[in-house]
Amino acid sequence: MNPLLFSLNQLIDFQNIKIEHIEEIKDKSIAKLNEALQEIYQIEAQSRTFGNTMMAYDAIINELSSISSLLFLLSSTVVNDDLRNKSREVVEELEKFGNQLGLDENLYLAIKTYSQTAEAQTLTGYQQKLVIETVRSFEKNGFALPKEKRAELQQIQDQLSEQNNLFYKHIAEYQDVILITEKEMEGLPEDFKKQHLQADGSYKIGLEAPSYTPFMQYAHAEEPRKQLYLKFLNRAADTNLAVLKTVLSLRQQMVELLGYQTFAAYRNEDLMSKKPENVWNFENSLKEKIRPRAEEDYRELLAIKREKTENPNAQIVNPWESGYYRTILLREKYSVDPEKVREYFSLDNVLNGLFHISAQLFDTQFVEIEKPSVWHQEVRYFEIRNIADNQLIGRMYLDLFPRPNKYNHAACFPLIQGRETENGYQIPVLALVCNFSLPTAEKPSLLRHSEVETMFHEFGHALHVLLTQSPVAIFAGTNTARDFVEVPSQLLENWAWSYESLSFFAKHYQTNEVLPKSMFDKMQAAKELGVGIFTQQQIFYGTYDMTLHDKYDPNSAESTTDIIKRLQNEITLFPYVEGTHFEAAFGHLMGYGASYYGYLWSLVYAEDIFSVFEQKGIMDKATGIKYRNTILAKGGSEDEMQQLRNFLGREPSETAFLKSLGV
């Protein structure tokens, strides 16, 4: 009884997955996939249909993606070292099988032959899009090359799969801490101190978000903040600098073989941006527009530093001081105490708020199931149903607290995608994996407001996955253009900044008092604090990513850190700190290579969509249902720009985006 050998819409028995099951599923999946491929190969040209060729191809991709995604989740979350490592090992093998699929000449010829049939010429909508994009994907992947070059390409892609997984592995497994005294903990909340107190009376502060972020915000002692900052920016630097250089070199070899000048040119061709020049124009234009705002933010930080240090001649704010002085500004200038604000955002209340908003806008109900079979005892499981007909439409797991060797950021892990099958619709399944503050004996998990935004962000991705109506897995949920995928996530963050929506769930964990309007007004006034600096940082990340993939020779003497130093000093107001290697733990360089700019690019559209909600009412069901039907349901089954036009009723505009930045 292998829990990974499940049937359509069967619940997965996560807690009973063993190493031998993982090995078995690899062998059985590959055998099943090879059998399905043979069936596609053997169809006569005149007998090819959308069903027996394109839907059969989608079924193969779905099978491979589902098993790979489930094992990738295990490799990112389970405590057992052997199980985690075996999962990662099999993910690599399945990725190599996927690379092989992309270079399968018989499969390509089957789909190419179908694309030239009379039936294919009459297709419209998602069917036409699937045929066109699949043929193009094969041809971009080397079918203009002779066979020996395709073999070389597969070797490169297999090496890339190994190196990508190694990069993630090194980040997840990297551990480092600082040990400090009671005196050096001054400024930290009492519950934080209790959580980090060691038996010998010292305090251990690690690099995971619930430890790192509060320490950087509240610790009065500058030297420990600096120590922690330096360690944070050197995560996995002992291993991943070499891995990154290898990845960049392999990507360049791959695209040169395919006839592209750069990896960015290869990647952007299939995105909304179409070509690197459009990304560069976007980043450079925004860089100029935001700089005056960022300089204003910086002057505000510098002024409070001069006041608190009693040094009127201070000329710079160091990066390890930024969060600390921003917190002082919040308290003193804006009268916002982040620790007081946290008391209104217990994790359960935030989740209930998200469920309420989802019910009101999208007609969905989230029902928690007790005693689920999960990969860790802290994981929770929910079923998602349409309120109108009580139909089960999705499943969601929440893994919300940090632990050793776990994925250390926040992300939505789609596990099974929605798609039509002969036996009914395949229900989408996902996991939200985050790292929020643990509950204590005295308090529930209380989220900083920035963590509330993170929860809303990831829930926006979840809705995209759960509310899909795509007939094919290839276009389901978040399977959109990479520079569009952050639209639903960034859009939903706006509900974390509306008093109308906050009043449903922002309640004091002890008294149940609703967040006072006066406190919210102060938070709103302080919202603009640092927006210029934050946006500059996002531009820096996007520009760094594009530079590595469009303007850098990985075989040159220039290092990836040299580029960081140059760009950070050019784009941001915080000077590069010698000896740091931020890029070693910049996991987005793997999945988001040449597309990190998509966060800001998507934000343009997210803010434009939200402007319609503002006009109609942020809890207006008709607008919510329209958004569900025109964007969330579509996934990648319809051109992304057309989705935007259908919702907006006009061409998209950057007006709301620029207004949100105060420029």
**Partners of 179 in the beta sheet?**
204
- d(C-alpha 389, C-alpha 212), whole Å: 45
Where helices occur in 103-220 by DSSP H, the ranges are 105-115, 118-121, 125-138, 147-173, 190-196, 209-218
Q: Which of 184, 208, 343, 458 is catalytic?
A: 458
Q: Is the dihedral angle over the CA atoms 599, 605, 611, 617 positive or is it negative?
A: negative
Give Cα separations from 421 to 151, 268, 356 (angstroms): 34, 32, 31
- d(C-alpha 486, C-alpha 488), whole Å: 6
Where helices occur in 592-663 by DSSP H, the ranges are 598-616, 621-627, 640-648, 655-660
Q: How many helices (H) and strands (E) does the chain have?
A: 27, 9
- d(C-alpha 297, C-alpha 329), whole Å: 11
Placement of tokens 């240090």 in the chain = 309
Give Cα separations from 126 to 54, 114, 361, 435, 641 (angstroms): 11, 16, 26, 37, 15
User: Quick check: 95 and 68 in contact, CB under 8 A?
Assistant: yes
Q: Is residue 184 among the annotated active site residues?
A: no
Query: Cβ of 390: how many Cβ atoms within 10 Å?
Result: 9
Q: Which residues have C-beta within 8 Å of that of residue 86, sequence separation ≥ 6?
A: 19, 22, 23
Question: Reduced to 3 states, what is the DSSP secondary structure of residue 484?
Answer: coil
Which residues are identified as catalytic?
Answer: 458
